[in-house]
Chains A and B, each alone.
Chain A
Amino acid sequence: MRVRQQIIPYLFLLPALILLIVFNLLPTIATVVESTFVISLRSGERVFAGFANYNRIFNDPVFWKSLQVTVVFSLIVNPLQIALALGLSMLINQKLPGIGIFRSIYLLPVAVSLNVTAIVWRLMLDQNTGMINGILFNLGIERQPFLHSVDLALWSIIMIASWIGVPLWSLFILAGLQNIPPPVLEAAKIDGANAWQSFTRITLPLLRRVLAFVLVADTVANFLLFAPILLTTQGGPQLSTNLILYETYRRGFVYGDLGASAAMLSVMLVIVFIIVGLELYVLRGQD
């Protein structure tokens, strides 16, 4: 009986563990291994190449440009989404008549896929006939090439990603807000704190954990943004929206250069681990 009980949890775990090891952990390791191989042009075989792939990508201006675009994109999109999500979550946390309907409506983008969002916005942002330009026309403003100009394309991607991102992350912050016991805020009010003071001195510090989680999860999600690029700008114009995951896809699947693609993915893995490591460090300091 006791012996059987020793085996049983392992049996229950077995299917999940095998699947996770084979399809999640092994590919992670394989990414790093693959990055040290190249396909020989002469024989068509995979041959070990050490750091050759890394040498290639580190000497490739397209890779650096893509990394630069990704960093600029991240520095804009993450603070923007989190600030708006914080604002939205405070709005839908108000106890007002009809607030449940608003919460349901704000849930719609969360259920819709990024592909659908990108397709609809691609048509809405169309330079000649899109609705956004239609509204600008009504306001007497001339047509804007939202997806076709170096100045605007990245901002359009930021907007598309935020249409889902802001409502999504606001759900997490809302859950955090609802965990703050009402007496804490009432006590502050009695002590004479105004709304701004109780927001900065009580609400924000109590949201620190949630905000730290959202910051990391949002950063990782936006770091891996792919579908909107494929479906709207395809990295253009002039690589101005060529985010890093799209570049690895282009290398691997459009040009068939899996070695370079794997080397870029390995660099991305390191970046993701640094981001996640920072999260664990920040969260640990608070318990």
Chain B
Amino acid sequence: MSDAINSTTARASSAKRHGKPLRATFTSGIVYTLLIIGVLIVVIPLMWAMAASFTPNHKVFEYAYPFTWRALLPVDFTMEAYDNLFARGFGRAIANTFFLAIATVIIGGAVNALAGFAFGRFEFRGKNVLFLTIIMLSFLVPVDLTAIPRYILVNSFGWINTWQGLLIPGLANSLVIFLFRQFFADIPQELIDAARVDGATWLRVLISIILPISKPVLVAAGLLMFISQWNSFFWPLLVAPRQELRVVQVEISLAVGQYGTIWNELLAGSMIAAVVPILLVIPFQRYYVEAITGTGLE
């Protein structure tokens, strides 16, 4: 064991004497190998699920056991699963989820941006107390932990199986308020002063001065709200189990129990659920990564 280490060290130092390239190639070879192993773990389940969703149901596992590479490609291509899924009304779930996610981005975005603006640009009595208690506390207590009492509360409003019940409890988002606050606090004061001297109201300053230069935070916050609403599951499962209001995540999860053996449809639904956030994240990955890591590093 220690011989192996010694010989590695010796080889490395002799490589160093002969110049960097050999050692660098050796190291980057190891890095690429490990990276590719990781990529296989990430990509193989997605490729199989995608391929299987375009496969006749009786052939879903055909190339998985025993495993051949054909399992990762739709060799027996058919749209059967998608056709059946839409015939069953899955389009409704997709429309519901889009509606909910877009409404959350627009209404929630306004609510959180206003709060972020107040915390980022104003000095007022009770500011720190409000921030530390209400914003921090709601940030620290995970929403899934209080879902059952929230359900009881929303039930007392008569909001079970309604759009209000799905939408309103998730509008205010302390993470998004954090993002807006940080961004707005860094905007130069002169920009705001100039507009204020011209007699603009604060709401006008926010809309016509600040928002046009806030594209990065708007994209980041919008992505964060859209994707977390698109992927949310526990709350919609509790509050709106009625079929007409089901969102994609609930629909595919209930399908596990109901149509548990129609594998290709289950996977087709899952792939639709997966593709939407992936298509949003990939082009905007820098914004998305900053949005989700931003608060952790403050």
Contact = CB atoms under 8 A, between A and B. Distances in A.
Q: Which of A23, A122, A135, A276 has the most CB of B within 10 A?
A: A23
A39 B179 CA distance: 43
Contacts of B150: 23, 27
B88 to A, nearest CB: 17
A224 B61 contact: no
B134 A12 contact: no
B267 A123 contact: yes
Interface in A218-252: 220-221, 224, 226-227, 230-231, 245, 248-249, 252
Contacts of A105: 39, 42-43
A226 B234 contact: yes
Interface string B280-298: 1110010011001100110
Nearest to B169: A23
B137 interface: yes
A111 B281 contact: yes
Interface in B35-70: 35, 38-39, 41-46, 48-49, 52, 60-61, 64-67
Interface stretch (B79-87, B111-119, B214-222): B111-119
A210 B172 contact: no
B270 A116 contact: yes
Contacts of B41: 163
Given A120-B46, A224-B144, A23 B168 contact: yes
A113 B146 contact: no
A114 to B, nearest CB: 7
A71 to B, nearest CB: 17
A227 B60 CA distance: 24
A10 interface: yes
B45 A163 contact: yes
Contact of A96 (B28, B149, B263): B28
Contacts of B177: 16
A22 B215 CA distance: 30
A122 B282 CA distance: 26
Nearest to B172: A19
B151 to A, nearest CB: 8
Contacts of A27: 146-147, 149-150, 153
Given A20-B172, A119-B256, A176-B297, A88 B38 contact: yes
Q: Which of A12, A109, A226 has the most CB of B within 10 A?
A: A12
Interface in B155-179: 168-172, 174, 177
A137 interface: yes
B270 A119 contact: yes
A127 B191 CA distance: 64
Interface stretch (A48-56, A61-69, A145-153, A262-270): A262-270
A204 interface: no
Interface in A121-146: 121-124, 126, 128-131, 133-135, 137-138
B78 to A, nearest CB: 18
Contacts of B187: none
A113 B231 contact: yes
Contact of A224 (B31, B130, B145, B227): B145
Nearest to B285: A107
A117 B49 CA distance: 10
Contacts of B42: 105-106, 108-109, 163, 167
Interface in B169-219: 169-172, 174, 177, 202
A120 B49 contact: yes
Nearest to B41: A163
A34 B31 CA distance: 53
A171 B172 contact: no
A276 B66 contact: no
A91 B172 contact: no
Interface in A1-19: 5-6, 8-10, 12-13, 15-17, 19
Contact of B249 (A23, A30, A115, A171): A115
Interface of B: 28, 31-32, 34-35, 38-39, 41-46, 48-49, 52, 60-61, 64-67, 71, 111-112, 114-115, 117-119, 122, 124, 127, 130, 134-135, 137-138, 140-150, 152-153, 168-172, 174, 177, 202, 227, 230-231, 233-234, 238, 249, 252-253, 256, 263, 266-267, 270-271, 273-274, 277-278, 280-282, 285, 288-289, 292-293, 296-297
Interface of A: 5-6, 8-10, 12-13, 15-17, 19-28, 30-31, 34, 87-88, 91-92, 94, 96, 102-117, 119-124, 126, 128-131, 133-135, 137-138, 163, 167-168, 171-172, 175-176, 179, 209-210, 213-214, 217, 220-221, 224, 226-227, 230-231, 245, 248-249, 252-253, 258, 261-262, 265, 268-269, 272-273, 276
26 contacts: A10-B124, A13-B130, A16-B177, A19-B171, A19-B172, A20-B138, A25-B134, A27-B149, A27-B153, A30-B149, A91-B38, A105-B42, A106-B42, A107-B289, A115-B252, A116-B252, A120-B270, A124-B45, A138-B66, A167-B42, A175-B293, A217-B296, A221-B142, A227-B234, A230-B253, A269-B145
Of all A-B residue pairs in the complex, the 3 with the closest CB atoms, nearest first, are A16-B115, A134-B67, A19-B172
